[in-house]
Amino acid sequence: MHTLAACVVPALRRTLWNLQMEYIDLYLVHFPLGVLPECPPSAVFAKDLVVMDMEGVWREMEECQMLGLTKAIGVSNFTCKKLDSLLSFAIIPPKTNQVEVHPYCRQDKLREFCKGKGIQMCAYSPLGANGTSWCSKVMDCPLLKQIALERGKTVARVCLRWVYEQGNCIIVKSFNERRLRENLGIFDWELTDVDQQKISTLLESRGCLDFFVHESGPYKTVDEFLDGEITGDN
């Protein structure tokens, strides 16, 4: 096991220096994984991934908050099992778990778990990482297109409204001003119960996690990475 814990506070201090800020609002553990210390951040491959000392890292995350370098701390890409383990030793529990959420990756079990523990779920790739090679084809979904037509909205708005109605906070990305405005237009209308029910029948799939598995790494398969908490055709 590689104890990367000692890197956490210095890394945040370096980030704050780069940003020329005194503190940030939220600091996350990006993945439940470590990277070999000698590996340059710009050239990380699956073979460079190592087991993470989660308790050591979390103690340092707590230190970041106690030092006032961040207002809150959280995690990303954590399963129910990993959150359970983290909560068993956390003095400051994670405020949020940032995970992939969109109509094809609904994460119902994880959302219920987080809700029960007071952890806010935050949805990344809410449009299925539209345009990437690993995108989930959310924007091409015939059902979402049909709902969009019936509601007089775009598919993106249907997706984002659905994510919002599940109680997630959302981080959607666009470099286009028109689409940025479009993505804000989800607060003055609702999906119907029938829309919700239809979306809940979509076959689950998620973005590519192959990068995080390797025969010599901490996780040999995607199933292992997700602690068996896989649904649908991942």
Footprint (CB under 6 A) of ligand NAP, residues 11-70 = 30
Q: 24 and 69 in contact (C-beta within 8 Å)?
A: yes
CA nearest 179: which of 135, 138, 127, 123? 127
Residue among 66 and 169 whose Cβ is closer to ligand NAP: 169
102 known member of a binding site: no
Least CB distance from residue 27 to ligand NAP, whole Å?
Answer: 13
Least CB distance from residue 64 to ligand NAP, whole Å?
Answer: 18
Site for ligand NAP contains 94 (CB under 6 A): no
Least CB distance from residue 99 to ligand NAP, whole Å?
Answer: 7
Least CB distance from residue 42 to ligand NAP, whole Å?
Answer: 16
Residue 44: phi, psi to the nearest 5?
A: -95, 130
Q: What six digits make up the tokens of 109?
A: 């079990």
Residue among 30 and 216 whose Cβ is closer to ligand NAP: 30
Site for ligand NAP contains 90 (CB under 6 A): no
Residue among 91 and 154 whose Cβ is closer to ligand NAP: 154
Residues that bind ligand NAP (CB under 6 A): 30, 76-77, 98, 124-131, 156, 171-176, 179, 182-183
